[in-house]
Amino acid sequence: MSEAQSSADDGRASDDADPRGASRPVGLALRLIERVAEWQPIGASDLARRLALPKATVHRLLLALETFGWLERDGGSRPLWSVSMRPIAVGGRAIERKSGLRMAALSVMDALRHQTGESIHLGLVDGENIVLIERIDGVNSVNIFLPVGTSWDLSWSSSGKSVLAHLPEAELASYLQTPRYRRKSETDIIPATELRQELAGIRDRGFAISVGVPPAASSSIGAAIFDKRGRPFAGLSITGASDRLREEQLLALAPQITAAARRISIGMSMD
Amino acid sequence: MSEAQSSADDGRASDDADPRGASRPVGLALRLIERVAEWQPIGASDLARRLALPKATVHRLLLALETFGWLERDGGSRPLWSVSMRPIAVGGRAIERKSGLRMAALSVMDALRHQTGESIHLGLVDGENIVLIERIDGVNSVNIFLPVGTSWDLSWSSSGKSVLAHLPEAELASYLQTPRYRRKSETDIIPATELRQELAGIRDRGFAISVGVPPAASSSIGAAIFDKRGRPFAGLSITGASDRLREEQLLALAPQITAAARRISIGMSMD
DNA sequence: TTTAGCGTCCCGTATAATGGGACAAAGTAT
DNA sequence: ATACTTTGTCCCATTATACGGGACGCTAAA
């Protein structure tokens, strides 16, 4: 009888349906924040419809999130909602104090950008995604600046693939449970065997490359960063316009990216 | 610095501001996220004590926030909590879609960094703070890379002061209601009259400067960015090591920063 | 002008959060 | 090694709180 939890008909919940400790309003509120961030600026009714939730419930939560400073609305007669700066401020402070990663990586990244002239990206694994947490811009002209916080499936970036390649088999299998799509045409599924084969090569060589990635055509070479226990948890990559960084040039950067990633891993292990 | 005993929360919002839609658990959960971000890694009991909340309540909320993917704990025998990548991912997507600011600013910022060799910062006003939302690194060597999400009092940065200088009198008065501290020694209060005088000069000249700011000694020159209604809502600055950017060099950059800020303002008004 | 849709709010009901307290295990002092 | 402190975890009766159907006035489009 302890946790009967007769979720009868509401068991929808796109991503999380895990009532440990529960707290439904909290879950709703957080989902709201995420969806508003995705669809902003958006009106209350529209939001309620898309989430399949009662208008009154959504409205009440929006009001609450506004007074807590996480959401805000423009001053139109039909208010549209957006997220405030709060998540970024929270996330920024989090990065700042997080492990030693950022600190350990910055000097290495700076050196790397001066050696190569290209932009250096540092990503942190978040579940099945890799999130950009720091970017240092190269001297060469750059056609696109990815905002910090950009999140991609692990299979979509060179650094993500490097992480995948060094994941324990059990976790890789669980990752491959869900079909993965190609970056370019988001309807093509990548066959698991094809991905496994590529990952094997990456594991041997110690780096991954990725060519002509949308939205701007950019190419990159990446390597994984490991914690003290030898677990890959972050990735480093050199990224540039794909007309300058062709496969040939990317491969020439292999020694540098692997050395840099290794140096960061070592720097992290010294705490 | 006096924050040891106040326990509750000194930021803003939260607390018992009578949330219009109520939702106590939501407020608690959000406060928890913010405080964990600030104090991470932190244990549950410690957290409960600092927030003056029952241990059981905090524990339950922590569990809920973990299942929703906003907090995570390291795997020690005494778990310590930290925030996940979720807030950054949310914030990043928010920035991406926010107004046209980032898009309008990027090309101007890129041009500026090539002209000057220094790093360019773009900040967005958030209440009485200005939050760094984008940074483009200069070619010159940089001694510190501020993480996106860094948040400062408006009076602490050149871009923040530029915004203050163009605020409507009513809002400036409200801002000055609370005493402001000097950046260097956080105990010295800046007399309101002194600040007003500096702001008057900034309003006349159209830019502000700021010299030798901790933590790394860096100096900057900044200007405000206005929306279509003429309201200052963001700031742009050129920042570099203070031994290279002395007052003389900063002043020489005045035409460039004001032109760049104006160009962004105009770009924003064209929607 | 009409009308479909929106934002806003009320309020009775039933659900879900609350937090004191108990407990074992981890860490600290003796 | 032993006693003591503090931590993470969980239970459960109580009651405070979120829920959401529905009503209302207003906005913008037809």
Q: What is the CATH number of the domain that holds A36?
A: 1.10.10.10
Where in the sequence is the domain holding B209, given as residue range(s)? 98-269
pLDDT for B198 beyond 70: yes
Do B252 and B160 lie in one domain? The reply is yes
Question: What value does the mean pLDDT take over residues B191-204?
Answer: 91
Are A226 and A265 spatial neighbours (Cβ–Cβ below 8 Å)? yes
Contacts of B25 (CB under 8 A, 6+ apart): A23, A25, A26, B61
Is 60 exceeded by the pLDDT of residue A17? no
Strand, helix or coil for residue A226: strand
The predicted model gives B222-226 an average pLDDT of: 96
The pLDDT tens digits for A250-271 are 999 999 999 999 999 998 776 5
Say how far A55 CA is from D20 C1', in Å: 8
Residue B127 DSSP SS3: coil
pLDDT of residue B223: 97
Q: Do B83 and A96 touch (CB under 8 A)?
A: no
Check whether B100 has a pLDDT greater than 80.
no
Identify whether residues B141 and B22 lie together within a single domain. Answer: no
Model confidence at B229, in pLDDT bands (50, 70, 90)?
confident
Q: Which residues of B touch A94 (CB under 8 A)?
A: 37, 40, 82-83, 87-88
Distance of CA B39 to the CA centre of its chain: 18
Residue B103 near chain A (CB below 8 Å) = no
Tell me if chain A has a CB within 8 Å of the CB of B12: yes
Residue in A88, A90, A114 nearest the CB of B83:
A90
Distance in Å from C22's C1' to A230's CA comes to 40
| Strand C contact residues in chain B (1-40), C-beta within 7 Å | 20, 24-25, 28
B contacts of A106 (beta carbons < 8 Å)? 145
Last residue of a domain, one of A60, A84, A108: A84
Q: Which of B13, B63, B89 has the CB atom closest to A149's CB atom?
A: B89
Q: How many CA atoms lie within 13 A of B28 on its CB side?
A: 23
- The stretch A196-202 carries a mean pLDDT of 94
Residues 6+ apart with CB under 8 A from B44: B55, B58, B59, B62, B79, B81
Please say which residue of B59, B84, B109 terminates a domain.
B84
Q: Which long-range contacts (CB under 8 A, 24 or more apart) does B166-175 make?
A: B166/B203, B166/B224, B166/B226, B166/B232, B167/B232, B172/B196, B172/B199, B175/B128
Instruction: Please indicate whether residue B142 or residue A126 has the higher confidence score (pLDDT).
Output: A126
Do A220 and A251 share a domain, yes or no?
A: yes
Residue–nucleotide distance: A63 CA to C4 C1' (Å): 25
Chain D nucleotides covered by protein, CB below 7 Å: 6-12, 17-23, 26-28
> Is the pLDDT at A19 greater than 70, yes or no?
no
Claim to verify: residue A119 and residue A250 sit in the same structural domain: yes
Extended strands (E) in chain B: 71-73, 81-83, 119-126, 129-136, 151-153, 180-181, 189-190, 208-213, 218-226, 232-241
| Nucleotide nearest residue B63, measured CA to C1' | D9
Looking at the DSSP bridge assignments, the partners of residue A210 are: A220
Considering only CB atoms, which chain B residues are within 8 Å of A62?
A: 21
Contact of B13 with chain A, judged by CB distance below 8 Å, is answered with yes
What whole-number distance in Å separates Cα of residue B94 and Cα of residue A126? 18
Rounded to whole angstroms, the distance from the CA of residue A61 to the C1' of nucleotide D20 is: 13
The tokens of B34 are what?
């913010």
Whether A2 is in a domain gets the answer: no
What CATH number is attached to the domain comprising A170? 3.30.450.40
The CB-side HSE value for B93 (13 A sphere, CA atoms) comes to 19
**Tens digit of each residue's pLDDT (9 = 90 or more) over A93-143:** 777 766 578 888 999 999 999 999 999 999 998 889 999 999 999 887 677
Regarding whether A231 and A130 lie in a shared domain, the answer is yes
Query: What is the structure's pLDDT at B7?
Result: 34
pLDDT over 90 for what percent of chain A?
A: 51
The per-residue pLDDT for range B209-222, each reduced to its tens digit, is 998 776 677 899 99
Instruction: Name residue A205's beta-bridge partners.
Output: none
Domain end point (choices B84, B108, B124) = B84
Q: Which nucleotide comes closest to B44 if you measure CA to C1'?
A: D8
Q: Which residue in this structure is represented by tokens 């698991």?
A: A192
pLDDT at A187: 79
A124, A49: one domain: no
Q: What is the pLDDT of residues A32-53, one digit of tens each?
A: 999 999 898 899 999 999 999 9
Give the pLDDT band (50/70/90) at residue B227: confident
pLDDT digits (tens, 9 = 90+) for A55-105: 999 999 999 999 999 999 987 788 999 999 899 889 887 777 665 788 889
Flag whether B195 is in a domain: yes
CB–CB contact B68 A126 (8 Å): no
A7 occurs within a structural domain: no
Give the model's pLDDT for residue B18. 54
The predicted pLDDT at position B257 comes to: 96
Whether pLDDT at B52 is above 60? yes
DSSP A133-190: EEEE--SS--S--PPTT-EEEGGGSHHHHHHHHTS-HHHHHHHHHS-EE-SSSTTPEE
**By percentage, how much of chain B surpasses pLDDT 70?**
89
Residues 6+ positions from A107 with CB-CB distance below 8 Å: none
Residue-level pLDDT at B99: 59
**Closest by Cβ to B131, choosing from A20, A67, A85:** A85
CA–CA separation, B213 vs B219, rounded Å? 6
A49/A22: higher pLDDT: A49
Distance CA B205, CA B203 (A): 6
Structure tokens at A253: 């950067």
How many separate domains does chain B show? 2
Segment A148-169, tens digit of pLDDT:
888 889 999 999 999 999 999 9
Is B176 in contact with B164 (CB distance < 8 Å)?
A: no
* A9 within domain boundaries: no
The radius of gyration of chain B from alpha carbons, rounded to an integer in Å, stands at 20
Distance from CA of A96 to the nearest CA of B (A): 7
- Asked if pLDDT for residue A11 goes beyond 60, the answer is no
